[in-house]
Amino acid sequence: MKYNSITEQLEKIIFSFLMLFFCSLVISNVMTIYEQRQIAIGISNSHFIRAEKGTISIKIQSEKLYHDLEIMLNGEVYKRFGDNFSVTVEVKNYDVIQINGSMYEEVIYIEIVEASNNINTEKLRMNIKINGNTEILTVIIIYHSCI
């Protein structure tokens, strides 16, 4: 008889512990979901998330034309310089701009001569050296005005 009483009490204690554990788990999950929802709302209201566009102008710093020199946007050929010393590229946030000069053996200097007001690039007005290779020119970061 004493054995049954101890087992029943032990069962009640274990059952109570499990109920408390599952209740705390549910509360924890509800709080996590709430926090993630608040973060998602904050991100969607952020002025950094909108998909705006901007432009940058890239110029060859030479007297010689390089017709086949390629501007690559996110790993794909976007444009060639052709008969131009300067090319304007329309870009979006986090676009990667590269210059492919692998078809030329000589050193070519490229410069980002202009960027729209909403673009942050550390390489504005810097000479970038292309030495028969493909060189990353910049990664575009677009700032958005709060509306």
pLDDT for res 44: 52
- What DSSP assignment string belongs to 75-133? TEEEEE-TT-SEEEEEEETT-EEEEE-TT--SEEEEEEEEE-TTEE-TTBT-EEEEESS
Q: Tens digits of per-residue pLDDT, 82-130?
A: 999 999 999 998 888 999 999 999 999 999 899 888 887 777 778 888 9
Q: Tens digits of per-residue pLDDT, 57-70?
A: 999 998 999 999 99
Amino acid at 67: H
* pTM as predicted: 0.61
Q: Which two tokens stand for residue 64?
A: 């010689």
* Separation of alpha carbons 52 and 147, rounded Å: 13
Cα dist from 133 to 72, 76, 105, whole Å = 12, 15, 9
Q: How confident is the model at residue 14 (pLDDT cuts 50, 70, 90)?
A: very high
What's the mean pLDDT in 71-81? 92
Q: Tens digits of per-residue pLDDT, 119-142?
A: 877 777 788 889 989 888 888 888
* Separation of alpha carbons 94 and 110, rounded Å: 20
What's the mean pLDDT in 23-51? 68
29 φ/ψ angles, rounded to the nearest 5 degrees:
-65, -40
pLDDT for res 147: 47
